[in-house]
Amino acid sequence: MTSELHRAFSRFLSPAEILALSPELLVDQRRRFTATPDIILQPHTVEAVQNVMRHCFAHRIPVTPQGGNTGLCGAAVAQSGVLLNLAKLDKIRETNPADNSITVEAGAVLQRVQEAAGQAGRFFPLSLASEGSCQIGGNIACNAGGLNVLRYGAMRDLVLGLEVVLPEGTLVSHLQPLHKNTTGYDLRHLFIGSEGTLGVITAATLKLFARAQTTATAWVTLPDIESAVRLLTLTQGSFAERLCSFELVSRFALELSSAFSRLKKPDDGEWHILLELSDSLDSPDLTDRLAEFLYQNGFENSIIAQSEQERRDLWTLRENISASQRHLGTSIKHDIAVPIAAVATFVRECSAALAQKFDGIRIVCFGHLGDGSLHYNTFLPDILSNEAYSYEDAVNDVVYEHVLRHNGTIAAEHGIGIIKNQRLPAVRTPAEIALMRAIKAHLDPHNIMNPGKLLP
């Protein structure tokens, strides 16, 4: 099969566009899944993507698009056929400051897009821990979230136009910078968050914003989550959209990250908030106003970053939480969100229910409290890594029951992939899943686009 595929694709791809089956592209970010494609293709042009799709459509060969391979739900793990790596489609095609837009190809690494926006005197707000390697196409395909959603929205809110190769090879291009355009059903939003199951995103026009001229950053230590929610409400009341990040860190998460990062803990305490204000205009008193605000409202266990280095250290403590857990073994991760008013109750009740059912379970709770979005990772004691996943369903049953009780979501910003698709019927109605299937069947009648992902 593989050599036959190799011969077939060699007819219209250059040798450099056909890759060896290397582990770094096959093993997923969490080292949980290993892809088993028959071939890895890395097209250098959009036309090559079209040719690949035409061939695969004609021959019913499955295709799994892959960006930076930083996904956490297995959406880019190819089970057979073609693993379609987009890394070489990485041009910054155009920056357009007048329309506050930038047009980039799918393989452009997020950090490069941020930098290109900066060079044009603008700001691209999507920011997440893997920004040095994740790619824009993957960010769009899974509707990535991250640290700045509170102020600027998720990836979905940042896409003005898309260029997509449909399963049968047709190119549909709407790379347009218009902020107002209503001509028929909005198909762009179908592809955003579709995890490679409807077509291959090859480029996008993205929204840009003004750069922050002033930033103020604080670390606040609190006795309970109720206080953190109170701080959120007060901060929004006093600073409105100047608040761009409001991150929650539990005592255990801070201990892990502090040891891993070799940075001392800002303070002891059960819960911590890292919050950041920014202003696109020069605002020399912003830090003083934040300090005064925290003092006046009784949040005395607070540290205000006094230099860029101090600010970066605080952010390192937040961003290293994921990496610092690895030595604990295999975690059963959750990417959930609940309404702000329900966060405290959710955390208290869910933790108690887990502790009761799973003796000695340890929970690393952190995340984007400003969006009600939590990473709620659980570690079972004395369980070997390869055994942990056998408890996944039982742990998930408890967590998701509490999430749904509070009208939350089981997938806030990481997507569905292969680890949650069987849970989709718990959050979407039969009518909705039927419509999703109809859309999929129309665009991809032979089910070649990333089969087995997203849909149950």
For residues 73-132, which are near a second copy according to CB under 8 A? 96-100, 121
Is 186 among the residues that bind a second copy (CB under 8 A)? yes
Instruction: Examine residue 224 and tell whether it contacts a second copy (CB under 8 A).
Output: no
Site string (262-281) toward a second copy, x via CB under 8 A: ------------------xx
> Is 256 or 416 the residue whose CB approaches a second copy more closely?
416
Tell me whether residue 25 or residue 412 sits nearer to a second copy (CB atom). Answer: 412
Stretch of 106-114, 356-364, 382-390, 433-441 lying at the interface with a second copy (CB under 8 A): 433-441
d(CA 307, CA 296): 23
Instruction: Kindly tell me the burial class for residue 185, based on how many C-beta atoms sit within 10 Å of its own C-beta (0-12, 13-18, 19 or more).
Output: exposed
- Residue with token string 């793990």: 77
Q: Six-digit token pair at 278?
A: 């920014």
User: What residues numbered 136-165 form the site for a second copy, per CB under 8 A?
Assistant: 142-143, 145, 149-150, 153-154, 156-157
Site for a second copy in 391-410 (CB under 8 A): 407-410
Under the criterion CB under 8 A, does residue 387 sit at the interface with a second copy? no
Query: By CB under 8 A, is residue 20 in contact with a second copy?
Result: no
209 sits near a second copy (criterion: CB under 8 A): yes
Stretch 352-371: interaction string toward a second copy, x if CB under 8 A: ----------------x--x
| Residue among 303 and 455 whose Cβ is closer to a second copy | 455
Q: Which stretch binds a second copy (CB under 8 A): 8-16, 38-46, 170-178, 314-322?
A: 170-178
Residue 434 interacts with a second copy (CB under 8 A): yes or no: yes
Q: Are 53 and 165 in contact (CB under 8 A)?
A: yes
Count of residues that bind a second copy according to CB under 8 A: 86
Is residue 71 involved in binding a second copy (CB under 8 A)? Answer: no
**C-beta of 56 vs 149, nearer to a second copy:** 149
Residue 160 Cβ vs a second copy, minimum distance, rounded to whole Å: 11
Residue 122, φ and ψ in degrees, nearest 5: -125, -175
- Cα separation, 96 vs 128, whole angstroms: 24
Q: How many CB atoms lie within 10 A of CB 38?
A: 18
Q: Which two tokens stand for residue 414?
A: 């990481």
Q: Does 291 bind a second copy (CB under 8 A)?
A: no
Least Å distance, CB 243 to a second copy, is 10
288 lies in the binding site for a second copy (CB under 8 A): no
Overall residue count recorded for the chain in this entry: 456
Nearer CB in complex with a second copy: 25/150: 150
By CB atoms closer than 10 A (0-12, 13-18, 19+), residue 214 is middle
Q: Which residues contact 404 (CB under 8 A, 6 or more apart)?
A: 410, 426, 427
For residues 308-347, which are near a second copy according to CB under 8 A? Answer: 337-341
Phi, psi (deg, nearest 5) at residue 16: -70, -15
- Residue 405: name the closest of 376, 428, 426, 432 by CA: 426
According to the binding rule CB under 8 A, does residue 454 interact with a second copy? Answer: yes
Q: Which two tokens stand for residue 368?
A: 């984007």
Residue 201 as a binder of a second copy (CB under 8 A): the answer is: no
Q: Which two tokens stand for residue 406?
A: 């509070």
Beta bridge partners of 82: 39, 63
Rounded to whole angstroms, how far apart are CA atoms 273 and 42?
42
